[in-house]
Amino acid sequence: MTHAQISDAINSRFGHAVRDRAEFRGELTLVLAPEALHQVCEFCRDELAFDLLLDISSIDHFEQEPRYELVHELYSLSHHLHLRLKSAAVGDDEPSARSVCDIWPTANWHEREIWDMMGIRFPGHPDLRRIIMWEGYPYHPLRKDFPLEGKFSDVPDVAFTEPAPLAGGPFVTAPVEGTTEVREPRARRAGDLPPDQTFIAEP
Amino acid sequence: MSDRSPYAYDSKVEGNIIFTQLDTAINWMRSNSLWPMPMGLACCAIELMAAGAARFDIARFGAEVMRFSPRQSDVMIVAGTVTYKMALAVKRIYEQMADPKWVIAMGACASSGGMYRSYAVLQGIDHLIPVDVYVSGCPPRPEALLDGLMRLQKKIMGESSFLEQKKELLASI
């Protein structure tokens, strides 16, 4: 089986739902309509032998519409092929997308992580709790509008958080040629001299 | 023996007798038998293990008895990044340790949050529990930890717990 055959098979069945198709360095990516994602996933597993869900990740396109996007990475153990499915998570205030836990049980923890970090809900998930932060933590830290230093929160007897002092940061690595001493993370602002001219070697 | 030493040896008395103060004797016993509570939370714990192993051998300083129970340990070595999720657990374990107890903050993360200036990491364990010795490094070499331990021993030798207890007792009467 080849990428072209996969693409054709999905197109003939869900042609209306495939919004874009890209092939780059031997990797096939299909952009799907959000409502078709679950059906396409089921089709991929049952008809195209994509028996392994490698990963689900999420993207926050801050200040763009639609804001949240999901990326499902599939792999077929029998055909040795990758397939990437992209689809938007509907709703900018309370984004959600249908869970694929019933198709690949491994989606369980991936979706919990996305709920925890990005705040995308998965209707149909059997146990959608936070997985990294604790229950009661009020934010979703991977969102673009969440500050790096964090925010105050307090869940008595469980955990609290405080904003971290950034002391001139955030500290960024300079994208220039040079030694690590030149490129190392420091507080930099627009208009600063290039780091290779400002760095003062310590004796 | 110099005049400033807390011990005195009198050669006129028959052998094996040392004059000292009770405080000094207690401190000497405490500082040379520090049982650590290895609070290993990140990569510093690997260096802590190295400090305990043959090459660096923390046993030379009487601190080889790593106790994984807070009830039996004297010094908590906080080795690694303290996340907010772990922070109250570290505090709770510290509170379960019997007095007298000490804390070594090993490495940049335990001392100040280190390179993790982020939403998830407590910016130094001293926000929650009192720290006696900070060891710099990311992670510190085992020698640095041993140096920290020796400094803690020196600090313990300067304590006057018995005298203070006695004063408190007299004041309460």
Which domains are present in chain B? 36-172 (3.40.50.12280)
Is residue B48 within 8 A of residue B38, CB to CB? The reply is yes
Which long-range CB contacts under 8 A does B147-150 form with residues at least 24 apart?
A: B148/B104, B148/B106, B149/B34, B149/B58, B149/B61, B149/B63, B149/B104, B150/B61
Residue A13 burial (10 A CB sphere; 0-12, 13-18, 19+)? middle
Which one is predicted more confidently, A70 or B15?
A70
Q: CB of B85 within 8 Å of any CB in chain A?
A: yes
Q: What is the ipTM of this complex?
A: 0.75
Nearest-CA distance from A99 to chain B in Å?
27
Q: Which residue of B has its CA nearest to A132?
A: B85
What is the C-alpha separation between B39 and B80, in angstroms, rounded?
A: 8
Q: Are A48 and A6 in contact (CB under 8 A)?
A: yes
- Phi, psi of A191, deg, nearest 5: 95, -10
Whether the predicted pLDDT of B3 surpasses 60 = no
Best of B83, B84, B112 to mutate (most A CBs within 10 Å, chain A): B84
**In the predicted structure, residue A179 carries a pLDDT above the cut 70:** yes
Q: Give per-residue pLDDT as tens, B30-53.
A: 999 999 999 999 999 999 999 999
**Rounded to whole angstroms, how far apart are CA atoms B22 and B6?**
10
User: What's B70's DSSP letter?
Assistant: G
**Tens of pLDDT, residues A27-84:** 899 999 999 999 999 999 999 999 999 999 999 988 888 899 999 999 999 999 999 9
Tokens in use for B62?
């009487």
| Global pTM value | 0.80
pLDDT for the residue B149: 95
How many other β-carbons are positioned within 10 Å of the β-carbon of residue B14? Answer: 7
Domains and CATH numbers, chain A: 3-107 (3.30.460.80)
Q: What percent of chain A has pLDDT over 70?
A: 83
